[in-house]
Amino acid sequence: MKKSEELVGLVQSPAEHATSMILRTMEIAVIRTLLSLNALQTILPTGSIPLQDLAAATKTQAPLLERLLRVVTRTGFLTRESIGAYSHTHTSLAYAGPIGALFSPCYDEGIRALVRLPEYLSVLAKEEAKNAKHSPFTWNEGQEGKATFEILSEMPARTEGIHTLASNVQHLRPYTGFYDFAKLASTSSSGADVDRDRPVFVDVGGGSGHVIEEVLQAFPRSAPSSASSRTAPRPWRWPARRASSRPACGCSSTTT
């Protein structure tokens, strides 16, 4: 894949590159819109669905839906049959499931603000955000002075999207696959304690401790008291080890 991208870069003209970037930007917005309309989820895994049936099922005007679908059939994301019906590709079918649950909150909480980054820098100082309460995200939401989680707490649907993202992303990017957490063990191989109360693992923006529990389950020699999650407005410490599974709604933004 990397080699093919390099080859395209060698033969693609600057004008073609600009055109492809514009098309991809449109595609990203359209895919998120189709997900919000429940259009991708309505198309069956096999076979095709006529435009009128898809419009009726999603309660969306057919001409509008056709205009949106025109973008993603142009990029090959979806397939348009000769009879005017639409069917999934292997990629779009994945977006109708867990990949879509991953993509949607990334778009909502990240891409939407990044699209306005030039405007953000044109009206504010051209420098890094000073803190989490004054950032492209808070500015885009029109709520500067509030922390990200404070803003999202007022939006249950978007908060639930982030929780879904946290539970799905581990399948694509295992939390325990980046670092040898065995180095943070609170007991030696013989079982002797090694300063069990010294905090050695802090999950910044760790929500309800989803990532921490994954790490503790994978590396049982780490004491729960050695791990903590910091989420504004106050730090949170993981309680004594539990036998139950992870919380139903766990979210983590950054692991350090």
Query: What's this model's pTM, rounded to 2 decimal places?
Result: 0.66
Question: How many CB atoms lie under 10 A from the CB of residue 208?
Answer: 20
Place of tokens 């051209």: 126
CATH fold for the domain made of 2-95: Arc Repressor Mutant, subunit A (1.10.10)
pLDDT in tens, 18-54: 999 999 999 999 999 999 999 999 999 999 999 999 9
Give the distance from CA 226 to its chain's centroid. 28
Q: What digits encode the pLDDT tens for the residues 89-145?
A: 999 999 998 889 889 988 988 898 899 999 999 888 788 877 888 888 899 999 989
Nearest residue to 251 (alpha-carbon basis) of 129, 109, 131: 109
Q: How far apart, in whole angstroms, are the C-alpha atoms of residue 199 and residue 178?
A: 19
What is the pLDDT at residue 13? 92
Using CA atoms, how far apart are residues 120 and 127, in angstroms rounded to an integer? 11
DSSP string, 49-69: EEHHHHHHHHT--HHHHHHHH
Q: Domain residue spans in the chain?
A: 2-95, 100-168, 176-237
Main-chain phi, psi angles of 14, to 5 degrees = -55, -40
Least Cα distance to 166 among 227, 211, 202 occurs for 211
pLDDT of residue 252: 39
Tokens at residue 49, please?
A: 């669905």
Dihedral pair phi/psi, residue 204, rounded to 5°: -80, 125
Residue 15 neighbours by CB under 8 Å, 6+ apart: none
d(CA 217, CA 123): 47
The long-range contacts involving 190-196, CB below 8 angstroms and separated by at least 24 positions, are 196/223, 196/225, 196/226
